[in-house]
Amino acid sequence: MIFLLLFIATSCDLCGQNLIPDGGFESLVNGQCAAPDQSFDRSEFWYALDATPDLFIRNCSFDASDFFFWDASVEPFDGRNFIGLWSRWNSNGTYFTEGISTSLTQPLENGKTYLLEMYILNQGGYQGLEDDVSGCSLKPTKHIDLYLSTDSIFVTNDFSNGTASTTVPIVASFESEEVTGGKSDQWRKITTCFTAKGGETFLGMILPLGTFGELPPCAAMANSGVFRSFYYYIDELSIIEIPEVVEESVEACIDIPVEVDLLDLFDLTLLSSATFEWEDGFDQPTRTLSQIGSYNIDAILSCGILPMTLNVAPISCESSFYVPNVFSPNADGQNDFFGVSFEEGVETRDYKFRLINKWGNVVFESQNSEDVWDGYFNNEEADIGLYVWVLSFESQKIDIIKRVAQTGSVLLVK
């Protein structure tokens, strides 16, 4: 039995409780406006790990010319506020990087896998070398790193020696194209995942701590000190426990082949870099299915395995229409007109309907499914007897398109 996909259930990315208390940076401790680089200490739930992360507050104006990466026209992804993080690599090998931290709403559980998700607007990079060394360029290793701890997280950043460290190791990183690429014109969702050791109550998020890569020899020619910097706007962070299984259900038409794509069906950004193992050994996200029922798939992630179940339920997708077999145009108010009736929700195209008498004459024809025959031919009442009808059309019901051609007969009585 084969079938065609008809309806896909909607889903959210692993709906569950967000363990970050203020992922949108909405809760503030006072109402005073200041420049973005002086506003982060207004956040009620977040603290700066080092330097001066920027907090952009709606209705608080600022001078965008004060900093190369600021843009006063940018709106939050959601809510009123968002933040900005900056990282700069100097030509003498020292660097400057920013990070933030918060306390989670509850401790993480040992062995549980969690999804961390956020929205990012990459503001691109800036290279501040003089013209005589403009041919000296570097593509730094750009990433945003995540740290977990059972206690407050701190960063020791020694600018003069170009060293930095935190009190805890990295547990995961954002390293997708949205982070490593150039300037973006819209907010984009990025995800990563990790497995907890248990008891972690603090999250830290920091731009690279001395992990940009190797400086090329030509960097020593610079006098400005600034070699390369880059910047990100960030909004709507969340940490959600990945469930033991994610499940989606689809309805399908019987007797029509279908190709399914797990990335579309489950709509989880987490799966974009996953590999898949179906229970029958198939290993691709897209395939043509030939049986109704339930399919079990393992999504292999960098942080573990996410079990998935795809349920396929059959429905009938026949183009339902009705043509009477008896017709009595005697003006008694019953069966006085003859035509085709369609099930609600069925759309028709290229409609053709003809009615033929026993001598082969076409007594009625139409290209409009709403037209009906009144029982007259050449302005006279048609003869009693059997008539043959010929019907053809293309029907659409939801997303299913089907070509129909059928014949039948109707008895005209008085």
Digit-coded pLDDT (tens) for 159-203 = 555 566 777 888 999 988 999 999 999 999 998 989 999 999 999
Do 168 and 268 share a domain, yes or no? no
Do 44 and 147 share a domain, yes or no? yes
> What pLDDT does 16 receive?
72
Q: How far apart are the first and last CA of the chain?
A: 47
CATH of the domain at 309: 2.60.40.10
Do 236 and 179 share a domain, yes or no? yes
> What pLDDT does 5 receive?
46
User: Cα separation of 199 and 113, whole Å?
Assistant: 13
Taking alpha carbons only, the member of 164, 152, 34 closest to residue 98 is: 164
User: Cα separation of 172 and 91, whole Å?
Assistant: 28
Beta strands 304-315 and 286-289: pairing type?
A: unpaired
Taking alpha carbons only, the member of 266, 348, 341 closest to residue 301 is: 266
Do 182 and 222 share a domain, yes or no? yes
**Does residue 123 form part of some domain?**
yes
Contact yes or no for 312/3 (Cβ under 8 A): yes
CATH of the domain at 202: 2.60.120
Distance of CA 267 to the CA centre of its chain: 6
Do 45 and 60 share a domain, yes or no? yes
User: Cα separation of 46 and 250, whole Å?
Assistant: 42
Beta-sheet strand order (sheet of 144-149): 46-50, 99-103, 202-206, 144-149, 170-174
Taking alpha carbons only, the member of 86, 93, 121, 120 closest to residue 212 is: 93
User: Cα separation of 21 and 376, whole Å?
Assistant: 76
Contact yes or no for 241/13 (Cβ under 8 A): no
Within 8 A by CB and 6+ apart from 138, the residues are: 89, 212, 213, 215, 216, 219, 227, 228
Number of domains in the chain: 3
Structure tokens, 153: 């997280």
Do 149 and 92 share a domain, yes or no? yes
Taking alpha carbons only, the member of 360, 391, 347 closest to residue 373 is: 391
Do 308 and 353 share a domain, yes or no? no
CATH of the domain at 331: 2.60.40
Do 295 and 225 share a domain, yes or no? no
Taking alpha carbons only, the member of 53, 20, 49, 15 closest to residue 200 is: 20
Do 117 and 192 share a domain, yes or no? yes
> What pLDDT does 265 receive?
84
Share of the chain above pLDDT 90, in %: 49
| Number of C-beta neighbours around residue 248 at 10 A | 19
> What pLDDT does 243 receive?
82
Contact yes or no for 414/330 (Cβ under 8 A): yes
User: Tokens 């009693």, residue?
Assistant: 384
Residue where a domain stops, chosen among 315, 342, 376:
315
Q: What range does the domain containing 365 cover?
A: 321-412
**Does residue 135 form part of some domain?**
yes
Residue where a domain stops, chosen among 315, 344, 360:
315
Structure tokens, 402: 């089907």
User: Which residues of the chain have a pLDDT value below 50?
Assistant: 1-12
Amino acid sitting at position 155 = V
Structure tokens, 57: 């507050």
Q: What SS3 class is residue 171?
A: strand
Within 8 A by CB and 6+ apart from 45, the residues are: 21, 22, 27, 102, 103
> What pLDDT does 134 receive?
62
> What pLDDT does 209 receive?
73
Do 297 and 347 share a domain, yes or no? no
Q: What is the largest CA-CA distance in the chain?
A: 106
CB under 8 A, 24+ apart: contacts of 282-287:
285/261, 286/259, 286/260, 286/261, 286/262, 287/259, 287/260
Do 193 and 216 share a domain, yes or no? yes
Do 325 and 389 share a domain, yes or no? yes
